[in-house]
Amino acid sequence: MVASFGPIPCVLELELFFVETFMKLAAMRQPVTPTEALQFIHSTIRSSGLEGKVKDWKEKHCNLIMEDDDEPVSKKYWAGFLMHTPPL
C-alpha cells in the first residue's frame, strides 16, 4: 500500500512567500494577528490571479458546505497553515 496525502491545493504555490513574509515580520518584532494574516493572504491570492483556481479547487475537493463570503480561504486554512509551519 502507498499512502497519499490527497490532492495538493493551488495555494501551496504561495505558502513559501507567506512563511518568509511572516518570519521577516517576526524578526522585526511586528506580530501578525490571524485577521491581519488572512487579509494579507487574501490580497496576495487576489493579486497573483489564483482566486479562480482556489475557488475551483475548493468546489472540487471540499465536501463541506461552503460559505459564500467571497474570500479565497477561511480561518480553518490559517489554523492548518500554523499546524504545518510550527516556527510561526
Is 37 inside a domain boundary?
Answer: yes
Count structural domains, the chain: 1
Dump pLDDT digits (tens) for 7-23: 677 778 888 899 999 99
Q: pLDDT value at position 18? A: 92
Q: How many CB atoms lie within 10 A of CB 78?
A: 15
Is 3 inside a domain boundary?
Answer: no
Dump pLDDT digits (tens) for 35-59: 999 999 999 988 988 888 888 877 7
Is 1 inside a domain boundary?
Answer: no
Full-model pTM: 0.74
Is 46 inside a domain boundary?
Answer: yes
Contact 61, 16 (CB under 8 A): no
| Sign for the pseudo-dihedral over CA of 72, 56, 76, 66 | positive
Is 76 inside a domain boundary?
Answer: yes
| 42: containing domain | 18-25+33-84
